[in-house]
Amino acid sequence: MFDLTTAAVIYCTLVAIVFLGLWLWNDRRDHRTFERERRKTTFHCIRCDQLYTAVVGTELAKCPRCGHENTRLKF
């Protein structure tokens, strides 16, 4: 059917395509994870002086240490 050289070239090409696909898929997944972690709202507790974060769009959040509800930091 195929000689050895042609089969080796086809095999190497398919392996390269699989590795390229896996690399692109992992790169996109890692980028989405990084963006999700990066986009957070920062809060400062006025009772216990702790800095903490919450998801984007949150205007009020409870402090994880003391439970006091704080507004987000505005710069």
Q: What is the pTM of this model?
A: 0.53
Residues 47 and 59 in one domain: yes
> What CA–CA distance (Å, rounded) separates 23 from 29?
10
Asked if residue 24 and residue 7 are part of one domain, the reply reads yes
Element (H, E) at 10: helix 4-38
Clarify whether residues 5 and 17 are in a common domain: yes
Domain match, 31 and 48 both: no
The more confidently predicted of residues 66 and 2 is 66
**pLDDT, tens digit, 9 for 90 and up, residues 14-57:** 999 999 999 999 999 999 989 887 888 889 999 999 999 888 88
Residue 73 is predicted with a pLDDT of 84
Q: Per the structure, how many domains does the chain have?
A: 2
Supply the pLDDT for residue 58.
84
Asked if 34 and 44 sit in the same domain, the reply is no
Residue that the structure tokens 């095999």 belong to: 11
- Full residue range of the structural domain in which residue 18 is found: 1-38
pLDDT of 75 > 80? The answer is no
